[in-house]
Each structure stands twice: as structure tokens, then as C-alpha cells.
Amino acid sequence: MLPSTTRSLVTTLYDDARMVVELADLPLPAPGPDEVVVQVEAAPINPSDLGLMFGPALTAQASYEEGRVSAPVPPAAMKALANRIGQQLGIGNEGAGLVVAAGSGAQALVGRRVAAFAGAMYSQYRVIPAAGCMVLPEGVSAREGAAAFVNPLTALGFIETMRADGMSAMVHTAAASNLGQMLVKLCRADGIPLVNIVRSPDQVALLRSIGARHVLDSTSPAFPDELAQALSETGARVVFDAIGGGPLLGTILTTMEKVANADGAYSRYGSTQAKRGYVYGALDMAPITLPRTLGFVWDVSGWLLAPMMERLGPEARARMHGRVATELTTTFACHYKGELSLADALSREAVEDYTRRATGSKFLILPSAPL
């Protein structure tokens, strides 16, 4: 017998500029004919989850009580959030667990372990459409399948996007992330030259240890020359950028332009080679700045998984999902700093750790673990 409510983590922005993240018991409806009830066993905390969970709230000034964290939102940030004031929102884009009940049309899934990208996965139970479930291969645990969507599809999406642009090599920033490590493995397997840009010597060592060939530390004085060299060697003219703000993206694109011009005749309009930047993250919320030494043949775009998957079409999507399923425990294996129950996730220690958004501080929430 299923319970009538489910314990969940929810986030609410109040009009007095408090962001409250708390435990709530939400009604658990019966599944419709094509729906399943998943007992969620594991769900990762991705940067995109933090964007909803705490948004721009100042977690360093948060106050903590049993099952509840409250953090102030700076007045300047309230305007952009007007549409969410007063709404209690579930958190957790993706996760995995056991199908414990199903509607009449989805009985075959009962007892199977599935992954889903359904939102509000930081819940003991979630009712979701059967069509949105990825059945995990035999022997793959919920922990291993928890992050089967966001990072794997983003990494594969970069490759599909690069190919759709007619390019054959790429640059990636903040490349020591879990996503970045996947991309190193994928590009190696597919023979795609990849220029990894990281922010410390430790991260250089980490990526080299998993077989990355071009790894540049943007804090090194040699970075500008090394970047030009790597762009010249690989021919990479597309960059996937997790950072967005600050000078790095502009530096990469203008270096592409410089390399493209190096052997050409003078043109007042710059190189005719296409140069593309995709901003897929917001590790730095400062404005993106693009120097005018870019020439005129360049494109910079926001990159977001869901619309990109739409644009790539059903065939590419099926290919991507299939590859994720077969390589979940190898290429797409994810490393966590720790595991948290729903209640643990509201402790000061945990919040301060996972909101740092630093490489190597990724956590897994276990929503069905005892509170």
C-alpha cells in the first residue's frame, strides 16, 4: 500500500525576500493509466538544481532550524524572480528509483529500476509518465543511474551541436567538472580533439590522469600562448562555456580569431572562419564581455539542454539515450563527495558545502533514506 503523502524538499520565495528551503509532506496522487509511482532512491544536486533551490539567496547568511533553511535574497535580485514569489516549488531535476506502482497501461514497469528527468525528484515518491522513464540495465543501481540525464545528455549534446555546426574539434571550460570528465572520455572514444580549460594545476593533473591531451590552466602566465597553440593544433573553433561572466569566453574567441588570421592576408573585417561560443552555465553571473577584436564572423549563444534536444530531433535523441544506457557505469560514471538524506540536505554543513558549486563537491540525495 502506498502512503497518501510523500516527504519532499521544496523551495519558496516570499515577498519579504526570504528564500525558504524546507521539508514538506505533499499529497501523493494515484498514478494515471500511463503513469508510474517511483520510490526515488537517489538524485544528484546539479548546479541547475541549486539555481532553483537557493537561486541568488545569500546562503552564508542563512538561518537554520529543524527541516528548514531560510536565506535572504538581495533586493536587486528580487525583480527577476517576481514570477516565483509565493510558489512552493519541488526541486531535483533528475533521479533514479524503484517503480512501486503503476497505472493500467504501465504495469510492465512495476519492480523495475528506472531513471527519470521529471523535476521534484528530491521526494520519497514521484508520480511520473511511464514514457519519461529510462529503464536501467540489469545490475545498475539507483546511485549509478541517478544522473543519467543532465550531464550525459549535455556532454553528448555538445558533440551533436559541434557536428551540426560542421566542426570537428571543441574547447570546454570548467573542464574538470563531472561533465567535463565525461566529455574527455567521450571525445577520446570518438576521436574528437578537445581543448580542456581548467583553473588550477590540480585540475590539470586530474584531467591528464583520465587521458586528456590538451589541458590548459587559465590561471597560468603561459595560458595565452598555450591556448593559441592548442587552437592552432586542434583547429577548434567552437567553445562550450560553463562560466559565462568575466573575460574568459572573449579571450577564447579572440584567440580563435587571432589563430585564424595568423597566416591570412589582412582583411579589415577579420577572418572569414566561423567561430562559435555556447554559454551553457553561469558559474560567474557577471556580464559576458566580448572584445571587438573578434572580427565579424562569430556567434555566441545560450545553450540549454531541453530546447537543444528538441532541435536535434528524434533520431539524435534516441541515439543519445541509447548510448547513455549502455555506458552509465563507465563513460558516464559520476563521482560524489557524499550522500545526504532529505533532512541532511538542510544542515548548515551540507548547504555550505554543496552551494560552493566547486568541482569535487557534488552530492547525492537519497530521498528514501531514513530521515
CA gap 341, 363 in Å, rounded: 11
Q: Does 289 bind a copy of itself (CB under 8 A)?
A: yes
* CB 298 within 8 Å of CB 259: no
Site for a copy of itself in 88-127 (CB under 8 A): 89
* Residue 292 sits in the site that holds a copy of itself (CB under 8 A): yes
Instruction: Record the cell numbers describing residue 134, joined without a space.
Output: 529510462
**Residue 250 sits in the site that holds a copy of itself (CB under 8 A):** yes
Decide: is 164 part of the binding site for a copy of itself (CB under 8 A). Answer: no
Cβ 17 to a copy of itself, closest distance in Å? 16
Which cell numbers in the block locate residue 67?
A: 527541516
CA distance 135 to 159: 24
Distance CA 136, CA 114 (A): 5
Total number of residues binding a copy of itself (CB under 8 A)?
Answer: 45
Which is nearer to a copy of itself, 160 or 217 (by Cβ)?
160
74 binds a copy of itself (CB under 8 A): no
Figure out which of the listed residues 17, 24, 52, 98 binds a copy of itself, where binding follows CB under 8 A: 52
Nearer to a copy of itself, 295 or 367 (CB): 295
User: Does 44 contact a copy of itself by CB under 8 A?
Assistant: no
Segment lying near a copy of itself (by CB under 8 A), choices 63-71, 169-177, 226-234, 301-309? 301-309
H or E stretch including 174? none
Q: How far is CA 17 from CA 29, 64, 75, 262, in A?
A: 32, 16, 7, 52
- Residue 359 backbone dihedrals phi, psi, to 5 degrees: -55, 130
Q: Interface with a copy of itself includes 291 (CB under 8 A)?
A: yes
Q: How far apart, in whole angstroms, are the C-alpha atoms of residue 267 and residue 237? A: 19
Residue 282 Cβ vs a copy of itself, minimum distance, rounded to whole Å: 6
Buried/exposed code over 228-250 (b: 16+ C-beta within 10 A; e: otherwise): ebbbbebebbbbbbbbbbebbbb
Among 264, 313, 322, 338, binds a copy of itself (CB under 8 A): 264
The CA distance from 338 to 72, in Å, is 26
Contact residue for a copy of itself among 31, 44, 97, 295 (CB under 8 A): 295
* Interacting residue ranges for a copy of itself, rule: CB under 8 A: 48, 51-52, 55, 80-81, 83-84, 87, 89, 244-245, 250, 261, 264-269, 272, 279-280, 282, 285-304, 307
